[in-house]
Amino acid sequence: MSSVAMEPSTGETRIHPTAVVDPRAQIDAGVEIGPYAVVGAEVSIGSGTRIGPHVVLDGRVTMGCRNRIFPGACIGAEPQDLKYNGASTEVVIGDDNAIRECVTINRATHEGEQTRIGSGNLLMAYSHLGHNCLLGDRIVIANGVAVAGHVVIGDRAVIGGVLGIHQFVHIGTMAMVGGMSRIDRDVPPYAIVEGHPGRLRGLNRIGIKRSGLAELDDGAQAKQLQQVWAELYRSGAVLADALQQVRRQPLLPPAETLVSFLEASIGPGRRGPLPAGRS
């Protein structure tokens, strides 16, 4: 019976008779809800989404189309935050995400705030996404990752398994974080990070190549990105001074993304970037 919610959608809405679905929930055509799932009154589920057995969708949850929610996941529960006072906050999820077994995603803390996930992401089993987190698109978060509140993760980042990410940390686009690391400061775009505590190990060259970035402008964008990285992390200069030096040249989009991220990271209210280790 547990296969009911995981079969390909036929366009017909199918709700297993053991599921508990509040009549006020908004369920689009083609949604499948498996055995013993619970869907609350303030939940909205887009077409083609498959809700597996024993999934709990609680509180204000707005979910797009063609998502796959695997058994035991819990989405939209109250934030694990002592500051929470019952505000009507929400979780907003895009399209085509795979949220695997026993993943937990908490809604935001204060009135008008959101925990938001983009589209095309994979959250593997037993990962946790805390309140007020903001995720982009096509991110992979491996098994057993604990993401604290207010974390921001950019598009196409890859987060290895069994690690913790400190609250308010930002992880840039196409960054790769090695498993079992401790991430307590910002991770720049395109970087490889690993260790306990985490340290920058260099550019994510394989990820850059696979993305097609290395082929743009006959390779000029990737080449400049490598040059800028070397100036920032191998020149021996203080990072703030190195950023000023790099700004004296016109920057192509990838280098601009890296430099802008680091400028914001060293600014007020942020945790600052991880330091470099061996390359």
Please tell me the distance from the alpha carbon of residue 36 to that of residue 112, in angstroms, as a whole number.
31
Tokens matching residue 206: 């394989």
Position 270, amino acid: R
Closest CA relative to residue 33, chosen from 60, 52, 57, 56: 52
Strands, sheet with 140-141, edge to edge from the N-terminal-most edge strand: 14-15, 32-33, 50-51, 68-69, 98-99, 122-123, 140-141, 158-159, 176-177, 191-194, 199-203
Give the per-residue pLDDT at 120. 98
Per-residue pLDDT tens digits for 6-55: 445 558 999 999 999 999 999 999 999 999 999 999 999 999 999 999 99
Is there a contact between 69 and 55 (Cβ–Cβ < 8 Å)?
Answer: yes
Neighbouring residues of 63: CB distance < 8 A, sequence distance ≥ 6? 43, 44, 45, 46, 49, 57, 75, 93
Helix, strand, coil % in the chain, rounded to nearest 5: 20, 25, 55
* SS3 call for 203: strand
Per-residue confidence of the chain (279 residues) as pLDDT tens digits? Answer: 233 334 455 589 999 999 999 999 999 999 999 999 999 999 999 999 999 999 999 999 999 999 999 999 999 999 999 999 999 999 999 999 999 999 999 999 999 999 999 999 999 999 999 999 999 999 999 999 999 999 999 999 999 999 999 999 999 999 999 999 999 999 999 999 999 999 999 999 999 999 999 899 999 999 999 999 999 999 999 999 999 999 999 999 999 999 999 999 999 999 999 999 854
In sequence order, what are the beta bridge partners of 171?
153, 187
